[in-house]
Amino acid sequence: MSRKEKIIVFSAHSDDFVIGAGGTIAKYTQQKNKVLAVVFSYGEMSHPWLKKKVVHKMRYKETVDASRLLRCRSIFYDLRERKFLEDYQAKNMKETLVQLLEKEKPTKIFTHSHEDPHPDHRAVHEITLEVFNELQQKPELYMYSIWNPVSFKTHYPSLYVDISKTFSLKLKALWKFKSQKVHVLYPFFLLMYKSIKDGMKMRTRFGEHFFRIK
């Protein structure tokens, strides 16, 4: 991580980028690299009884608070959960995202895994590949995992990042998402288990594990 980097993290829901890459994000920004989290949905499905505007405001605030801790920027798109690909087509998001990436010129993109059982996560993976193919200047492309706790079946090269110094920031950022009913259920012990397991690969306390796919 010596030369200055610009990182973009694609995130289906507002807390995915923190669960999947929060420690790495904080590490990058501490080393004066710029990180932008792109959140694809506000996630109204977990609060169907609340007005859309209320959920948006809540999610926005939680994400801004979490991003402040990790020192990254974040932006939202308003795709409906479980209808990502439909909305992506209808809203011509491909062009929007290509323009965003051409403006930001990331050196690395992190996105969801195609092996993730959550349909929105897999949709973001597909969208990422489609947009990536349009780019003139290709960044490195990595994937992170949310709901595949044990291991990937994939044989892509691994990137392990030592997050021992930023792991507590990651946890603090995660606590900001009090309204994310679905993901707050993401078991704490699973996160600990994965972080320690990935850390052991580097003989360090906590790690995050990514796969380079492009």
Q: Min. distance of Cβ 105 from Zn ion in angstroms?
A: 26
Is residue 112 part of the contact set for Zn ion (CB under 5 A)? no
Three-state secondary structure call for residue 8: strand
Instruction: State which of residues 8, 10, 13, 106 lies at the interface with Zn ion (CB under 5 A).
Output: 13
Which amino acid, residue 51? Answer: K
User: Environment class of residue 153 by beta-carbon count within 10 Å: exposed (0-12), middle (13-18) or buried (19+)?
Assistant: exposed
* Residue with Cβ nearer Zn ion (16 or 198): 16
Three-state secondary structure call for residue 185: coil
Q: Min. distance of Cβ 19 from Zn ion in angstroms?
A: 8
* Residue with Cβ nearer Zn ion (16 or 208): 16
Q: Min. distance of Cβ 138 from Zn ion in angstroms?
A: 26
Q: Min. distance of Cβ 14 from Zn ion in angstroms?
A: 8
* Residue with Cβ nearer Zn ion (13 or 122): 13
Q: Min. distance of Cβ 20 from Zn ion in angstroms?
A: 9
Instruction: State which of residues 10, 14, 16, 97 lies at the interface with Zn ion (CB under 5 A).
Output: 16
Is residue 12 part of the contact set for Zn ion (CB under 5 A)? yes
Three-state secondary structure call for residue 46: helix
- Give the Å distances, CA to CA, from 132 to 83, 107, 159: 21, 12, 20
| Residue 161 · residue 208 · CB < 8 Å | yes
The answer to whether the Cα torsion of 120, 80, 58, 27 is positive or negative is: positive
Binding site for Zn ion (CB under 5 A): 12-13, 16
